[in-house]
Chain A
Amino acid sequence: MGRPLTEPEFEQLYRSTVRDLVGYLRRRGSADPENDAAEVYAVAWRRRADLPATLLRRAWLFGAAAKVLQAGQRHRAQEGRAAAELAQQPQEPALADDPATAVMAAAMARLSPGEREVLRLVEWERLTPAELATALGVRPGTARVRLHRARQALARDPEVRALIDRRQVAAAGGSVSTRSARSVVDGTPR
């Protein structure tokens, strides 16, 4: 943290991050990604004296975006529209043609919201542990604990264990196995 960003610096930050941020908002089911992104950058400009070091600013924007989305959901809930709107927002991919991904998506859905979001930030948005801490607004050690717990929770899921076991067996026999055998494993010949 330090001096406030200048306007040229802020525009540079915007240009270098807006595509990632809009993608993040879309993956989280934002009803209006453009409007939500504009709100996030408006917050960032007002908080420009508090922004973290350059390499952590993208993650900071993700954290701000999460708050904007939560505020929007609260607002809609107060208006009694949340359920109807959320029902119209596809937040998960169509997985019918990929059984392995479907198993993992179902296991992700069984995690707590906090655990799920930690894994999404790391695996979907490719945040480093330091960036994860920035996005969550916690100390790096705390972020590592949360990531460790979320990974443990997912790895412990019985269906995930079975899936990984099957894939490891298939991979171990891959050199002498057949395409049809792999197809049995996850339905996706590689």
Chain B
Amino acid sequence: MPTPPWTEDHSHLVARTAPPVPETTDAEVDRVWNRVAPELAAAPPRRRRGRRIAVGAGVAAVVLGLSGVAAADLFSARTGEVQTDPESIRLGGPGEKIDPRGSDYEQVLREEIADIPFASDEAREIAVADQLFFARRDVRSMEIAQARGDRDWRIVHITGGMRAEAARAALCSWANAWAAATTSGDATGRAEAIAMLEASREWPAITDVDAEQTIGRAESEVVELENGERRTVTFYDNTPFGFLPRIVEAAHGTDLRAMGRPFVEFTRCVPALVPDLPQAVPATFRGQ
């Protein structure tokens, strides 16, 4: 007898077996922190890896080991340096290195993402604010590193990564517009959102980092079933925007869960960008 396929109903029923637990209170949050805080002063990191390349939020930031640090108000965020290292391009996207400490960082960001269409001006502002938040965090991290004498430690953003992050946010905004129009029966708004989501597959901000947009074959593994039968199971891996075809496909239907699912499984939407599509945010993050 063949194994029945896994369905949404299975997932729903398993979720319902979770024991109900009380919400964690603010007092509990503070009490736990009071126990954790002394550790921060006491414990050095157990290990520090050698230099130093890492991704920040999404594909936008790359940490580099470079010498020379200048004061923020003396230079533009634009460095004129082009990212050439293949591994760094894979992690942070292609394009110009942008210093988040530059006093014109926000202006540069807005210039770089000006061609990316958002569903509303408000959505664009949310996306900009989100990237500025992470830029300020990176600046703060560099200040702390400097204060500790680690003067050659530097984070740069790459224009390709910044644009990809913005494009991801724009997709969230158009999915939300689609959801609002679908729910309210606004045929014109729905058609516009569908057209925009279809067109997004050709946005330069997306094709620059992922022209394929595929859930590609990753690996196969032989699985032995209970009846002794051996079966080869193939698993797939996705390119950065590999989820996009699924979003376009969902846009032609009317199922909000189908639209939200690729965002949850493959990427993230800032909750403020998807007020009409909460299915695009993991349940534990809704309302934040």
Contact = CB atoms under 8 A, between A and B. Distances in A.
A91 B57 CA distance: 36
A7 to B, nearest CB: 5
Contacts of B16: 98, 100-101, 104
Interface string B1-31: 0011111011101111111111110001101
Contact of A123 (B4, B15, B145, B264): B15
Contacts of B230: none
Contacts of A4: 45, 48
Interface stretch (A12-20, A73-81, A173-181): A12-20
Given A3-B145, A34-B32, A104-B13, A152 B3 contact: yes
A2 B14 contact: no
Contact of B10 (A90, A149, A151): A151
Contacts of A98: 16
B282 interface: yes
A156 B28 CA distance: 41
Interface stretch (B75-83, B99-107, B183-191, B218-226): B218-226
Contacts of B32: 18, 22, 34, 37-38, 41
Interface in A75-108: 90-93, 95, 98, 100-101, 104-105, 108
Contacts of A37: 32
Contacts of A34: 28, 31-32, 35
Interface in A139-189: 140-141, 144-145, 148-149, 151-152, 154-156, 160-161, 163-164, 167-168
Contact of B43 (A45, A54, A156): A45
A136 B100 CA distance: 35
A16 to B, nearest CB: 8
Contact of B9 (A8, A19, A101, A167): A167
Nearest to B282: A126
A149 B40 CA distance: 40
Interface stretch (B136-144, B167-175, B202-210, B269-277): B136-144
B5 A46 contact: no
B153 A19 contact: no
B49 A1 contact: yes
A145 B21 contact: no
Contacts of B219: 141
A3 B46 contact: no
From B17, B21, B235, name the one whose CB has the most chain A CB atoms within 10 angstroms. B17
Contacts of A144: 235
A124 B21 CA distance: 12
A2 B265 CA distance: 25
A4 B44 CA distance: 10
Contacts of A149: 223
B89 interface: no
B18 A27 contact: yes
Interface in B30-63: 31-33, 35-36, 39-40, 43, 45-49, 52-57, 63
Interface in B217-267: 218-219, 221, 223, 225-226, 233, 235, 237, 264-266
Given A18-B32, A26-B21, A45-B43, A151 B6 contact: yes
21 contacts: A1-B54, A2-B52, A2-B63, A8-B144, A14-B36, A15-B29, A18-B32, A23-B21, A27-B21, A38-B36, A45-B36, A46-B46, A55-B268, A104-B16, A124-B15, A128-B282, A141-B221, A145-B223, A152-B3, A152-B225, A160-B10
Q: 7 smallest A-B Cβ distances: which pairs?
A: A2-B54, A38-B35, A26-B21, A123-B14, A19-B24, A104-B13, A49-B45
